[in-house]
Chains A and B, each alone.
Chain A
């Protein structure tokens, strides 16, 4: 489903080269849940961006469903993202000018779905926000905003969900509820879930835990 081969990422700085990723190799099967943990600045989010096709590595390959996104231009990568990938962000990344319903409809509209509104309404109902369809993000609590973000990610039925610190902006209780919801939805939809987190409790819910340290990835038990 998802494969990274010898991924490296380096940037030029004033006193030389900074190596952010150092030869990452990784393979994730369909339906797996994988947590990437590590200290701040270890390269977790950079790796997530590479795996999701949001960015390209300095060298190495990322294959999503055997499609090498590392060789693709931005337009081609966008097409792959549209079909295979969905995101959940720490800061929700909802559009403030749109209602909850419109935010969820957005990826469906990008894909050209005919019944975007119905699907979005159903998804919002699934995350318990059927009464909040026409509220804007500013009118929702942090937990509610992340529910909208989950609904948006799962509404488009992408096979792979990338989540960057999905509970990072929430209190412990709300964070727990959101993570439960995330895994429930993942099971229901049989999606592959790759998440970056500092929270050990969240990582414990995943089948695999990968440790990122100074640009090197190691798997627990290795």
Chain B
């Protein structure tokens, strides 16, 4: 008998509404709501926080992205930016002599247009050190034509003050202000001459930029993420060898490190919340389907075909999906607002606008989870035999193997979608499979072993532990769920601790916040004395020289750079030094560091070099290669003896190449040192610069403060996500326990008719759940230890640390937590009168 569409639809509506009213759908709806709402809230919150962090970090770049090179920006790129509606700003940098009367200084001129900076602000003052004297002001635009803003050192070198005139090339400028801070000044800490900022319209007048001049053309971009991505794509396809793309991550290593790890963590967190949601939905759907079996068998006796049943429950799924999408997205939105409200001042006030894609992510998760985890058991209802109504058979007719396969594939798919990383997906999948197989075997063994223990114990213990073995099938799957849940929580907690500790260690409390460089060798002793007299502890004095690698072995760097996978400029000048030791934030990853300083009279052929790993990898430098460098116009040949990893975000002086002996016998080298100086002692800087006007001083306390602020925000986001995962996990736990509630209600009723007291039933439940928690905790500790080893060493690039605390307190905590949650969730079992329970069954 074929049923009409409308007839089935009406019946489906009735079934759905009746199940909804009777509470049959509660757990499934709640799980779906949690799945969608949690992922939506996480997506909304993290995308807003992340965009805010990127916005803040963008100020380091004065834009969202930058294209820079030694030639003017090609017209086709400008057209592409216009098409993408990107805002842009041009500036050019060049070196030029600045004059005032008889004084002169080689300066780094930056000529900016009226849009500079696109992000962040310039800081200027009418006195030389206005900032430390509290008289600086911020401005969103550069100098007007005919005006110049100059760095404090230029004031000293030219012996001028605000309002005086200086000449750059053929043009004259009025000194309008002291330049305290540029948003993108952190791009080149070292080797720069003092800064002069002018308007780009005045460049031609100076006649300083001629054919063959060394000029850096920079083009700042700002706009929508998608437009920027499209622009980057256009740039990369243009195969432009003269320019490179710089964005927040590639432009600032301090921020990039923190952002990259945070991104990995948040993605992982997203995956885990999807995993947890999937488990909750699968459990709830299975319970719901089981309770639908009698109804389906009855419908079949009324003449409904398997196809009718499929259609009926397809309507059901449609309603569930609609609920997930509408209520889940709305709840996610409210949840994220609530979080923002509670976090108050801890998050940026000008939080980035929410993105619609966050709703899509949440909806997709809920929808996929529903299809993958809820659909298989519901669709299996078509196979329920009508005879089961006669036999009163409540054995589950669901094909669990098919459900498991579909659910597993969906989980892998979701992890891949959210992590966008095959590697991460592989590790998580491997860990989960290992956990399932391992847990299945181990829990069976453990339950077998723990059962006999009860024989020597009290009645309650004997019954509680005996229940473990008697419910072996049910308990194995519960241990599996608990263990996976705990495994995820243990792993996340440990990774969070590792990440936070590493971030906090990244910039120690008294990290150097001032760098003095361009120190002539004969000045170094005097500066060292000055610092000692003022009780300022400083890092060692490093020699520094600029040089360019032009040959690796027999190959020109020019050719090697073309083959490089990234757009880094390998032909640029690098900061070079020589030393017999390397910094604590450096690690030798290949080759060997030289044991002692070279003997006097060492020949240039004995020059050894230690090269930074990323630079080396970019153009294929390996240990043993011969490098040819151009240093101060002379050729230096060195042999690579080691490769080093460098923690660039440590704020310590670091170098791409370190040599074992002075290059060119030390000629042409300047020296560099760094020190920490609190804000209240900044006036000392005036004395230092007055006594040594030719040295360059960079204050990076603003940069450090900004990095700290970003790290604090990322840490906050990480902690919050962990809290959300904990809540999801807690609900999965309840959902899992609820799925066994019917059996436990029945058992409790029987036990109590047989004379068991309520306290006895409660003790038995506590013992059984406690033992389940202990076993699950032990297995989870083992799983997370293995997983953490891979995550720390392979994904987050952190050193492996044995998680002793997890082993020490994890199983005990999980035993107590699961016993309490189990008891709380099943209190109905204890409190329902036995007669009432028996009548319900």
Chain A residues in the interface with B (C-beta under 8 A) = 49, 52, 54-55, 74-75, 78-83, 85-87, 89, 91, 93, 95-98, 102, 106-107, 109-112, 138, 156
In the complex, what distance in Å separates the CA atom of A106 from the CA atom of B841?
19
User: Does chain A have a CB within 8 A of B471?
Assistant: yes
Q: Which of B215-223, B254-262, B748-756 contacts A (4 or more CB under 8 A)?
A: B748-756
Residues of the A chain whose Cβ atoms lie less than 8 Å from the Cβ of B752 = 78, 81
Report if B263 contacts A (CB, 8 A): no
- B755 with A106: CB separation less than 8 A: no
Cβ–Cβ contact B754 & A110, under 8 A: yes
Instruction: From known contacts A97-B474, A97-B743, infer whether A82 and B833 are also in contact, taking CB-CB under 8 Å.
Output: no
- CB-defined A-B contacts under 8 Å, sample of 11: A54-B753, A78-B752, A78-B758, A85-B755, A91-B841, A93-B746, A97-B747, A106-B750, A106-B754, A107-B754, A110-B459
Stretch at the interface among B63-71, B282-290, B462-470: B462-470
Q: Which B residues fall within an 8 A CB radius of A?
A: 393, 395, 459, 462-463, 466, 470-471, 473-474, 743, 746-747, 749-760, 833-835, 838, 841
For B760, the chain A residues whose CB sits under 8 A away are: 78, 110
Chain A neighbourhood of B835, CB < 8 A: 49, 54-55
Q: Closest residue to A56 on the B side, CB-wise?
A: B833
Distance, CA A82 to CA B755, complexed state (A): 4
Complex: A93 Cα to B754 Cα, angstroms:
11
A95 touches B750 (CB 8 A): yes
- Count of inter-chain pairs, beta carbons less than 8 A: 78
Residues of A within 8 A of B753 (CB): 52, 54, 81, 87, 93
- Are B751 and A106 closer than 8 Å at their CB atoms? yes
Asked if A55 contacts B833 (CB within 8 A), the reply is yes
How distant is the Cα of A86 from the Cα of B743 in the complex, in angstroms? 21
For B463, give the chain A residue with the smallest CB separation. Answer: A109
Contacts of B751 in A (CB 8 A): 106, 110
Q: How far is the CB of B753 from chain A (nearest CB, A)?
A: 5
Q: How far is the CA of A106 from the CA of B466 in the complex (A)?
A: 10
Give Cα A102 to B750, complex, Å.
13
Considering the chains assembled together, what is the distance between the CA atoms of A53 and B833 in angstroms?
A: 11
Distance from B789 Cβ to chain A, minimum over Cβ atoms (Å): 38
Which residue in B463, B756, B757, B833 is a CB contact (below 8 Å) of A54? B833
Contact B470 A110 (CB under 8 A): no
B749: A residues at CB distance < 8 A: 93
Please tell me if the beta carbons of A74 and B758 are within 8 angstroms of each other in the complex. yes
CA A107 to CA B760, docked complex, whole Å: 13
Can you name the residue of chain A whose Cβ is closest to the Cβ of B747?
A: A95
The residue that A79 contacts in the complex, of B466, B474, B757, with Cβ under 8 A, is B757
Contacts A54-B834, A109-B463, A110-B751 hold; do A95 and B746 have CB atoms under 8 A apart? Answer: yes
Contacts of A96 in B (CB 8 A): 743
Q: Which residue of B lies closest to A103 (CB)?
A: B750
A54 to B753, CA, bound (A): 7
Q: Report B-chain residues with C-beta under 8 Å of the C-beta of A78.
A: 752, 755-758, 760
Q: Which residues of B contact A49 (CB under 8 A)?
A: 835
Interface pair A75/B754, CB less than 8 Å apart:
no
Closest to B393 in A: A138
**Closest B residue to A162 using CB positions:** B753
Q: Which residue of B lies closest to A48 (CB)?
A: B835
Pick the contact of B838: A79, A93, A106 (CB < 8 A): A93
Which one of A54, A89, A156 has the highest number of Cβ atoms from chain B below 10 Å of its Cβ?
A54
Contacts of B838 in A (CB 8 A): 89, 93
A107 cross-chain contacts in B, Cβ below 8 A: 754-755
Asked if residues B395 and A138 are in contact (CB atoms below 8 Å), the reply is yes
Nearest CB of A to B827, in Å = 14
Tell me the smallest distance from the CB of B830 to a CB of chain A, in Å. 10
A54-B753, A78-B757, A110-B755 are known; give 10 further A-B pairs, CB within 8 A.
A52-B753, A74-B758, A79-B755, A80-B755, A81-B754, A83-B755, A89-B838, A97-B471, A97-B747, A110-B463
Q: How far is the CB of A141 from chain B (nearest CB, A)?
A: 11
CB distance from B14 to the nearest CB of A (A): 24
User: Are A110 and B743 in contact, CB atoms less than 8 angstroms apart?
Assistant: no
Complexed CA–CA distance, A86 and B750 (Å): 11
B837 to chain A, nearest CB (A): 10
A82 touches B756 (CB 8 A): yes
Across-interface contacts of B463 in A (CB, < 8 A): 109-110
What residues of A have a CB within 8 angstroms of the CB of B757 in the complex? 74-75, 78-79, 82
A97 touching B755 by the CB < 8 A rule?
no
The distance in angstroms between the C-alpha atoms of A110 and B750, with both chains bound, is 11
A108 to B358, CA, bound (A): 58
Chain A residue at minimum C-beta to C-beta distance from B459: A112
Q: How far is the CA of A85 from the CA of B756 in the complex (A)?
A: 12
- Report the Cα distance A93→B746, complex, angstroms: 8
Tell me the complex Cα distance, A11–B669, Å.
Answer: 100
Report B-chain residues with C-beta under 8 Å of the C-beta of A82. Answer: 754-757
Q: Which residues of the partner chain B approach A80 to less than 8 Å between Cβ atoms?
A: 755
Most buried by B among A79, A86, A109, A138: A109
Q: Contacts A49-B835, A55-B835 hold; do A98 and B470 have CB atoms under 8 A apart?
A: yes
Residues on the B chain within 8 Å of A156, using CB: 754
With a 10 A CB-CB cut-off, give which of B753, B759, B835 has the most chain A CB atoms. Answer: B753
B96: shortest Cβ distance to chain A, in Å?
87
A156's nearest neighbour on chain B, judged by CB, is B754
- Provide the bound-state CA to CA distance between A95 and B745, in Å: 11
B462–A109 contact, CB under 8 A?
yes
Which are the 9 A-B pairs with shortest beta-carbon distances?
A82-B755, A107-B754, A81-B755, A78-B757, A112-B459, A54-B835, A110-B756, A49-B835, A75-B757
Min C-beta distance of A152 to chain B, whole Å: 8
Residues of the A chain whose Cβ atoms lie less than 8 Å from the Cβ of B754: 81-82, 86-87, 106-107, 110, 156
Chain B hits for A98, CB < 8 A = 470
* B831 (CB) vs chain A CBs: closest residue: A74
Please, which residues of chain B bring their CB within 8 A of the CB of A109? 459, 462-463, 466
Q: Which A residue sits closest to B395, measured CB to CB?
A: A138
Residues of chain B with a CB closer than 8 A to A83's CB? 755
Rounded to whole angstroms, the CA-CA distance of A207 and B746 in the bound complex is 33
**In angstroms, how far is the closest chain A Cβ from the Cβ of B363?**
39
CB distance from A113 to the nearest CB of B (A): 9
CA distance A107 to B754 in the complex (A): 6
Minimal Cβ-Cβ distance residue in A for B472:
A97
CA distance A81 to B470 in the complex (A): 24
Which B residues lie within 8 Å of A89 (CB)?
838
| A102, B755: Cβ atoms closer than 8 Å | no
The distance from the CB of B836 to the nearest CB of chain A, in whole angstroms, is 9
CB proximity of A88 to chain B, nearest CB, Å = 11
- Please indicate the chain A residues that have their CB under 8 angstroms from the CB of B743 in the complex: 95-97
**Cβ of B345 to closest chain A Cβ, rounded Å:** 53
Are A102 and B470 in contact, with the CB atoms below 8 A? yes
User: Separation in Å of the B463 CB from the closest CB of chain A?
Assistant: 5
Task: State the CA gap A85–B749 with chains docked (Å).
Answer: 15
Q: How far apart sit A35 and B369, CA to CA, in the bound complex (Å)? A: 55
User: Cβ of A74: which chain B residues have Cβ within 8 Å of it?
Assistant: 757-758, 833
Q: How far is the CA of A102 from the CA of B462 in the complex (A)?
A: 13
Please, which residues of chain B bring their CB within 8 A of the CB of A93?
746, 749-750, 753, 838, 841
Bound state CA distance, A82 and B833, in angstroms?
16
Give bound CA distance, A132 to B471, whole Å.
Answer: 19
Contacts known (A102-B470, A112-B459); A75 close to B750, Cβ less than 8 A: no
Alpha-carbon distance between A110 and B763 when the two chains are bound, in angstroms: 12
B754 and chain A: residue at smallest CB distance: A107
Contacts of B474 in A (CB 8 A): 97
Complex: how many Å from CA A137 to CA B319? 37
Considering the chains assembled together, what is the distance between the CA atoms of A177 and B576 in angstroms?
101
**Contact A97 B473, CB 8 Å, known A106-B750, A110-B755:** yes
Distance in Å: Cβ of B391 to nearest Cβ of chain A: 9
Determine the distance from Cα of A111 to Cα of B751 in the docked complex, in whole angstroms: 11
Nearest residue, chain B, Cβ from A93: B750
Contacts of B459 in A (CB 8 A): 109-110, 112
Q: Report A75 CB to chain B, min CB distance, Å.
A: 5
Chain A positions within 8 Å of B470 at CB level: 97-98, 102
A109 to B465, CA, bound (A): 12
Q: How far is the CA of A83 from the CA of B743 in the complex (A)?
A: 25
Please indicate which of the listed interface residues B471, B755, B835 has the most CB atoms of chain A within 10 Å of its own CB.
B755
